[in-house]
A = this chain, B = another copy of it.
């Protein structure tokens, strides 16, 4: 798929490793309405600080993204380096420097190699083509094992509107109001308030519901650029139906990418949905689902394909959510394994154990105490998770 008016490029700039794509560019022929959500970690990388400032204008034309170095905890020198890479790109593209957004991922605390950017910039800009989107998705990978891309098209009024999205992330994943890196481009014609609002709402129900290891990164961001090339009738406050279609489609794109991240979680062998129903409110349901999803004991039990619901119960009990343990039901897939707080019995456990051999697993916890219901998506905790993270920098 091609999104009208957008082109992309990626090169091997040798920022940390040689001979692998590590620098990417997303470019819109015209300034695109652009919204972003960013990490809530108090420690924020230089590109995050710069983008938050620049996005106050609601427009951007280019995203320059590198892997290998996060440019986080790098102080004044890191900010200067980021501004320099922006100017290198804007002068090469002949656009206003404030139209450039920056994004970095990789090791925290090391200074950015500006020389690598300088040497690669010409090649990067000259490589801009309509169909390089997958290359950019590859350039932003760190411990990811596969690039994560999604495409959608939808009719808005009489016009077909297209979306392409990419994401990266496999560890340090428990996004909070944002996620690891994700970029979405669309040719939709939409005003900034509607775009920003759609992004915030879609993120809350997608990226903010996944967790690999409970660690929130310093560099998380989701950017969405809409350059209006589809020429659909403007999506603005007078157009609630079109806005709903746009937002639903965007949420679908982000959810697909979020689940791709969980699927590719560091060392993951299982993709697990923890659903809590019957809580007093949605916030309670989310808090409990998140506590269960982050429990190392629950996650290692899934890796061991062990229907160890006692560990789920223990995590529920320390979640801070009030509930009555004596009326709780727990099901694995369609198999109820705990009814009213007690084990159903060996045959249920046997059936649940069989289900655990699948790659996709759904756990449903019913507190029977209200209508609050939320899902959190996670993966298991495997031997490979430890191997990957004990060796990451070496």
Contact = CB atoms under 8 A, between A and B. Distances in A.
User: What's the interface size class on A, roughly?
Assistant: 35 or more
Contacts of A214: 294-296
A394 B322 CA distance: 32
Interface stretch (A82-90, A119-127, A184-192, A309-317): A309-317
A386 interface: yes
A146 interface: no
A317 B386 contact: no
B74 A296 contact: no
B323 A42 contact: yes
A254 to B, nearest CB: 21
A393 B109 contact: no
A131 interface: no
Interface string A325-341: 11000000000001011
Given A215-B311, A389-B297, A304 B394 contact: yes
A42 B386 contact: no
A96 B385 CA distance: 53
A295 B215 contact: yes
B172 A297 contact: yes
A187 to B, nearest CB: 36
A229 interface: no
A280 B294 CA distance: 28
Nearest to A216: B318
A109 B313 contact: yes
B385 A296 contact: yes
Given A381-B386, A383-B383, A390-B301, A213 B296 contact: yes
A138 interface: no
A217 to B, nearest CB: 6
B43 A308 contact: no
A387 interface: yes
A177 to B, nearest CB: 11
Contacts of A392: 301, 304, 306, 308
The 8 closest A-B pairs by CB, nearest first: A108-B310, A304-B390, A43-B317, A300-B389, A41-B317, A216-B318, A109-B310, A42-B317
